[in-house]
Structure 1
């Protein structure tokens, strides 16, 4: 059973997410929070597997709450964002969030995202949010970087494809390798770079200048980890 908590300053939004999630046999909502400070207390007390976190809340916002929760608990955070909150997205990634969803997401996409993140993987948001992440990262004007010497040529190639938004299955098909082999490569890359998950790997690729906004464009969603 996957336990969840929901943080949003609007009770109606929390109720809506709870209703969607309650219909699944393997999901259970164990707590709610109306702001970031309460979310931190809930995470420490209830230790849900996944926390659905709004960004803009009074007092302690979702980014600050995510940073505290990810630093001091084993709870994994999915950020719920809107187009207007793009200035917060990069900070949320740095804070440790494992997933990014728009609030108008379809119910089945939300359910899938929870399962992916609870399973220990990161979930890259729909393509529009990936472009927002790229735009925010680009404002840092990073210097172009070669891959670390510890990365093999194949691993560097996979980094580029992850940053392009390809799933493990798509990367495997592109490189003619198995899904399992692709996943092993990604795990080794994360270990070598000292990164937690694919979300941080995408940011690393933009932050170091290895890829840049406009270099890739994907119209579909990618929720495969």
Structure 2
């Protein structure tokens, strides 16, 4: 069964380029391309879409607002495709339901792998973007939301730290010499304690609370 995708970008060159690239992979079906967030929300409400690839800066409705509505009103999983100059949108997009945050200059294989990973229930944020978030937060004098370390076990804190460094569950399991299933159980525990929804939000939560 193919993964259904829509491409959302106000730049027609990027829309068509991504469509051509994704269409070369047998596992994807590009249902349509649209030019703004409002069109994306409307399309996802009317059609079964697995993944919405969203630009950030678009007319009528940007990718952050669209991610929020798509997450709240449909089963579609939003992935943001951005450029380096969109720093101010990163945290907002993740808080509003984006399951992935990637740079547009990625190799096609990286975009393909990210789509498949998000489709399979994971969240993706590139290490370079995490570093940008960490750098931005480090410029602040104090954490916005200090973490109550008493809420978490030592192992949970270790796992949050590794997630914030961009480690996958597999990489965490190798680093800590525990099974991937055990890692997943710890992540579920962290999500329950924090009220967060996915691992990317854990990374942001940890960075915002730990970076001084």
TM-score normalised over the length of structure 2: 0.91
Divergent runs of 4+, >3 A: 135-141
Q: CA deviation at 1:5?
A: 0.7
Describe the SS at the equivalent of 2:117.
helix
Equivalent-residue separation in structure 1 for 2:122 and 2:128 (angstroms): 20
Q: CA deviation at 1:194?
A: 2.0
Q: CA deviation at 1:143?
A: 4.9
Superposed counterparts of 1:205-220, under 5 Å: 205-207=206-208, 209=209, 211-212=210-211
Larger displacement relative to structure 2 (31-40 or 167-176): 167-176
1:119-167 CA distances to partner (integer Å, 9 max, x unpaired)?
1110122x22112233455558425322353x32212221122112222
Q: CA deviation at 1:29?
A: 0.8
Check whether the contact 2:130–2:165 (CA below 8 A) recurs between aligned residues. no
Check whether the contact 1:32–1:42 (CA below 8 A) recurs between aligned residues. no
Equivalent-residue separation in structure 2 for 1:103 and 1:161 (angstroms): 25
Describe the SS at the equivalent of 2:81.
strand
Equivalent-residue separation in structure 1 for 2:122 and 2:145 (angstroms): 29
TM-score normalised over the length of structure 1: 0.86
Q: Which residue of 2 aligns with 1:159?
A: 160
Unaligned runs of 5+ in 1: 214-225
1:58-115 CA distances to partner (integer Å, 9 max, x unpaired)?
1211111111111111111110110111111111111110001111110000100000
Check whether the contact 1:90–1:137 (CA below 8 A) recurs between aligned residues. no
Would you say 1:134 and 2:99 are equivalent positions?
Answer: no
Q: Which residue of 2 aligns with 1:192?
A: 193
Q: Between Structure 1 and Structure 2, how many residues are aligned?
A: 209
Check whether the contact 2:55–2:63 (CA below 8 A) recurs between aligned residues. yes
Q: Which residue of 1 aligns with 2:149?
A: 147
Check whether the contact 1:47–1:75 (CA below 8 A) recurs between aligned residues. yes
Q: Which residue of 1 aligns with 2:46?
A: 45
Which protein has the bigger helix share? 2
Describe the SS at the equivalent of 1:112.
helix
Over the aligned positions, Cα root-mean-square deviation in angstroms equals 1.8
Larger displacement relative to structure 2 (127-136 or 53-62): 127-136
Unaligned runs of 5+ in 2: none
Q: Which residue of 1 aligns with 2:94?
A: 93
